[in-house]
Amino acid sequence: MDARNEMLRLIQNRRQGFSLPRPFYNAPDFYRLDLELVWYREWLFVGHECEIAKPGSYFTVQVGDYPVVVVRGRDGIIRALHNSCRHRGSRVCTGRKGTAARLVCPYHQWTYDLDGSLLFAREMGEAFCKEDFSMKPVACESVAGYIFICLAEEPADFTPFRETMEPYFAPHNLAETKVAHEATIIEKGNWKLVWENNRECYHCSANHPELCKTFPEAPTVTGVSGAEKDPEIMEHWSRCEAAGLPSRFRIDEAGQYRVTRAPLLRDAVSYTMTGRPAVKRRLSDRVSERIGTLMLYHYPTTWNHILGDHAVTFRVLPLSATETAVTTKWLVHKDAVEGVDYDLKELIHVWTETNDEDRRIVEENALGVKSPAYEPGPYSPVHEGGVIQFVEWYASFIGPRLAEGADTKL
C-alpha cells in the first residue's frame, strides 16, 4: 500500500483522544505528505514587517523544497517571490537577510527588480524577451505587522483570519517594533510533536521553573475550553475590554487559529523572573501595563505572546520528518534602547530557558515514539484539550486532502 493510502487508513482508524500512530511522527513518506498537503497549501507566518522596514530589505525562508524571498519594494509593498532564478534555477538571494537595490543572481548575474521583474540578462540573443522571465510570485499578506505567505496555486481566503486577528493586535502597535533578539533552535522531533507539546501545560510545573513564575498552568489558559467558567479570566477580559482591547477567546470554525487574552500569575506583567516589566518603554501608549498576555495560535507555523512591554513570537518550520526549526523573536518598541530601556539578558531569559526545556522534552518524546513498543496513548481530557484540538484539526484537515488522491478501493 502506498504512503497516501496508508496515511488515510491510519487517520480513519485512529483512536480519538489518543496520540497518533508512529509513522506520523517519523516516516519520511508521511513527512512528504505533510509538506504537500499542509505546508505547501496553507498560509504560513514567515516574519515581521519591522524586519524589512526599508525598501530593498529582504529575508529568505525555506519551506520544504521551496526557497522564498520576502522583499519590500520601492513602493513600500511587501512581496514574496520564489527564490529560484529564471535562468538555470540558482537561488538568487543566498543570505538569511539583507538589503539590495536589485536582486542579482550570483551565478550569471541576471538582475531582477525588487518586484521580481527581470531587468538585465547579459547576451541572451535577439529573440530573448525578458518580460517572460520574472521571478515567480508567492501569495503574501500582512496583518498587524505579521507577514504570511502561501505556496498554493489558489490560496485560501486570508480575510477571515485578518478580520479576527486585526482588532486584537492593532492596539499593540507591532508595526512600530524592532527585533531585540532572535534565536533559532533545531528540535530533533517532528513538527507535530513540537505543536503537541506547545498545546498543553500538563508538562509545565515539572519542566518550566522560569515560565511558571508568571504563566498560569491552568488548562483554561492553554486549552480551548472552560475560560468562560474561570472567574479570573472573565474578570481579566472585562477589564481589558473596558479599556478597548478585544480579549475574549475566539477560534475559527476549522480550528486552525485562535486568539485570546489571559492574565498572568499574581501581579506579573511580563515574562521575567520577578514578573516586573523587562522593558521600560511600552509597546503602545494606548495599552496599559497590566494586560496579561495576548495569545495567538495559527497552525502550522506560529504561537505568540503579546505583553504590555514586549512581544515574543514563535515560528515553526519543518526540516525533515524528525527535525523542526523553532525561531523565537523578542519584539520591543522601535525606540527602546538596549542597556537603557531593557537589559537583553533579562528580556530573553525566561523564553530562552523555556525553549530549551521544550526542546529536550520534544527530543525525548521523539526517541520514545521511535520504539517498536510505542503505541498511541491517551491525552488527559483535563489538561490536554488543546492537544486533542490540534490533532483533530490535523486529522480533519489532512484526511479529505488525502482522500482526494487515494485509491477509491479503500
Residues 218-247 as x/- pattern, contact with ligand 3BY by CB under 6 A: ----x-------------------------
Tell me which of 108, 213, 248, 334 binds ligand FES, using CB under 6 A.
Answer: 108
Q: Where are the beta strands (DSSP E) in 73-195?
A: 78-82, 97-99, 103-104, 111-112, 118-120, 137-143, 146-150, 177-187
- The residue number with the shortest CB distance to Fe ion is 358
Choose the one of ligand FES, ligand 3BY, Fe ion, none that binds residue 107, judging by a C-beta under 5 to 8 angstroms depending on kind.
Answer: ligand FES
Segment near ligand FES (CB under 6 A), from 101-109, 129-137, 235-243, 377-385?
101-109
Least CB distance from residue 153 to ligand FES, whole Å? Answer: 24
Query: How many residues of this chain interact with ligand FES, rule: CB under 6 A?
Result: 9
DSSP 310-371: -EEEEEEEEEETTEEEEEEEEEEETT--BTTTB-HHHHHHHHHHHHHHHHHHHHHHHHHHTS
Q: How far apart are the first and last CA of the chain?
A: 11
Nearer to ligand FES, 85 or 287 (CB): 85
Cα angle 370-316-206, degrees, rounded to a multiple of 5:
60
Q: Which residues contact 159 (CB under 8 A, 6 or more apart)?
A: none
Residue among 15, 88, 136, 370 that touches ligand FES (CB under 6 A): 88
Element spanning 67, H or E: strand 66-72
Q: Does 39 bind ligand FES (CB under 6 A)?
A: no
Residue with cell 500538563: 202
The residue to which cell 521580481 is assigned: 116
Does 187 help bind Fe ion (rule: CB under 5 A)? no
CB of 227 within 8 A of CB of 249?
A: yes
- In the complex, what is the shortest distance from the CB of residue 208 to ligand 3BY, in angstroms, rounded to a whole number? 7
Alpha carbon separation from 54 to 50, 119, 402 (Å, rounded): 9, 21, 42
85 belongs to the binding site for ligand FES (CB under 6 A)? yes
| Shortest Å distance, C-beta 104 to ligand FES | 9
Residue with cell 523542526: 324
Residue in 406, 297, 314 with CA at minimum distance from that of residue 354: 314
**CA distances (Å), 55 to each of 79, 99, 141, 251, in order?**
11, 8, 17, 35
Among 49, 51, 187, 358, binds Fe ion (CB under 5 A): 358
Asked if 105 is part of the footprint of ligand FES (rule: CB under 6 A), the reply reads yes
CB of 356 to ligand 3BY, least distance (A): 12
**Element (DSSP H or E) covering residue 34:** helix 28-34
Contact status: 201 vs ligand FES (CB under 6 A): no
Cβ 179 vs Cβ 53: under 8 Å: no
- Which residue number, 105 or 201, has a Cβ lying nearer to ligand FES? 105
Nearer to ligand FES, 26 or 90 (CB): 90
Q: Which is nearer to ligand 3BY, 58 or 303 (CB)?
A: 303
78 close to 137: Cβ distance less than 8 angstroms: no
Nearer to Fe ion, 63 or 204 (CB): 204
Interface residue with ligand 3BY, options 43, 169, 303, 390 (CB under 6 A): 303
- Scanning residues 183 to 222, which ones bind ligand 3BY (CB under 6 A)? 198, 201, 204, 222
Contact set with Fe ion (CB under 5 A): 358
Contact set with ligand 3BY (CB under 6 A): 198, 201, 204, 222, 295, 303, 354
Contact set with ligand FES (CB under 6 A): 85, 87-90, 105, 107-108, 110
